Amino acid sequence: MLKKTLRLIRARNDETGYQMAKRLGIPQSSLSNYENKKLPISVKFLDKIKKAYDLTPEEITILELEVHLSKKEIKIPLKNATALDVRLINTFKDNYTKFSDKEKEKLIELFER
């Protein structure tokens, strides 16, 4: 999902990976490591890419989700959650890493409704 999003941003801006890395002020190897999930996506990287590119709301959502996923964290408010809500959220949390990128994209679509 992240790799696809970064490639779409590059394609829209007619850039190579090297050019994107240079524009973001990071080594190309770091960009490659982000794309291949060898480095966790940081808030700092997210801020850099938001400032450097005109992102769509969907791209921002995907990148923000990747920040949380790379920290192995998704924030779900539980203020008024019932016991069933908490059980469902915990089941989702425990199984999220097992989903394919395509399944994660579908989940993002569902959450955005």
Average per-residue pLDDT for the chain: 82
Rounded distance, CA 23 to CA 19, Å?
A: 6
Q: Which residues of 35-60 are buried (b: 16+ CB within 10 A; e: fewer)?
A: beeeeebeeebbeebeeebebeeebe
Q: What tens digit of pLDDT does each residue of 49-100 get?
A: 999 999 988 888 888 888 877 665 556 666 777 888 788 877 877 777 777 8
Quote the pTM value.
Answer: 0.60
Q: What tens digit of pLDDT does each residue of 30-45 get?
A: 999 888 878 888 888 8
Rounded distance, CA 3 to CA 33, Å?
A: 10
69, two tokens: 């996923």
